[in-house]
């Protein structure tokens, strides 16, 4: 198979695997990450095949859906081997998959390639803005988490273990991760896009707290 055929077969495979997901990590999330990664790749002039394959496969071995919490990209590597992807390229793709995820506010980013920076940015862009808000609550519901708990403060996790074992409410997740992503983008393109999406989340949180406390109702009462 040539590289275009491998990409198309991977699209078909991942679409089947993630068609029924309800956690915010469904096929359409992967599709958006893939398309955004392609767009950033054209600007940054990186290896398009590595970028596309890593974007398509990035959630296949996600620790959030593993019983052991293990990040080893076993399924991704098996797929790459089945497509006869050469060893060096397969290893580059797997390194991206292993390092792509956010692991806590105090945990260093170990991504080490331009292709990896691009895919990581594309994935993080889909975690913020209007779609990011929707995905946050989809995942919180999927995990049985409270929407908001005023008695539970956000935690700036110093280790992956702390972050992985957190049961924090969804609103806390904005402060523990989503609002931090703007300043963690790698490429200039992603940094520019993140600015606007970040503002969308700030506006949402302001409105959420206004409604939670009923201040919007109080304001209307005062007008009369």
Domains of the chain from N-terminus onward? 3-223 (1.10.3210.50)
pLDDT tens for the chain, 224 residues long, are 899 999 999 999 999 999 989 999 999 999 999 999 999 999 999 999 999 999 999 999 988 887 666 778 999 999 999 999 999 999 999 999 999 999 999 999 999 999 999 999 999 999 999 999 999 999 999 999 999 999 999 999 999 888 988 889 999 999 999 999 999 999 999 999 999 999 999 999 999 999 998 876 666 556 65
Q: Where is 57: in which H helix or E strand?
A: helix 48-57
Tokens matching residue 163: 């972050």
Backbone angles phi, psi at 163, to 5 degrees: -65, -45
At CB < 8 A and 24+ separation, what contacts does 170-177 make?
170/136, 170/137, 170/139, 170/140, 170/145, 170/146, 171/147, 171/205, 171/208, 172/148, 173/136, 173/140, 174/136, 174/201, 174/205, 176/105, 177/102, 177/105, 177/127
């Amino acid at each position: 198979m040539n590289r275009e055929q491998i990409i198309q077969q991977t699209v078909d495979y991942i679409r089947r695997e993630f068609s029924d997901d309800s956690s915010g990590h469904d096929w359409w999330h992967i599709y958006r990450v893939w398309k955004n990664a392609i767009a950033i790749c054209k600007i940054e002039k990186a290896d398009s095949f590595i970028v596309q394959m890593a974007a398509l496969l990035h959630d296949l071995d996600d620790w959030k859906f593993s019983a052991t919490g293990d990040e080893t990209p076993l399924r991704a590597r098996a797929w790459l081997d089945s497509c006869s992807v050469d060893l060096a390229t397969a290893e580059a793709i797997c390194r991206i998959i292993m390092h792509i995820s956010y692991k806590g506010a105090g945990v260093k980013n170990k991504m080490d390639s331009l292709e990896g920076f691009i895919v990581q940015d594309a994935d993080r862009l889909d975690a913020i803005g209007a779609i990011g808000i929707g995905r946050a609550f989809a995942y919180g519901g999927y995990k049985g988490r409270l929407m908001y708990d005023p008695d539970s403060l956000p935690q700036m996790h110093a280790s992956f273990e702390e972050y992985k074992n957190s049961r924090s409410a969804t609103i806390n997740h904005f402060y523990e991760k989503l609002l931090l992503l703007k300043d963690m983008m790698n490429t200039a393109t992603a940094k520019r896009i993140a600015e606007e999406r970040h503002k969308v989340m700030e506006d949402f949180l302001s409105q959420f707290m206004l409604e939670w406390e009923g201040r919007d109702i109080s304001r209307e009462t005062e007008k009369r």
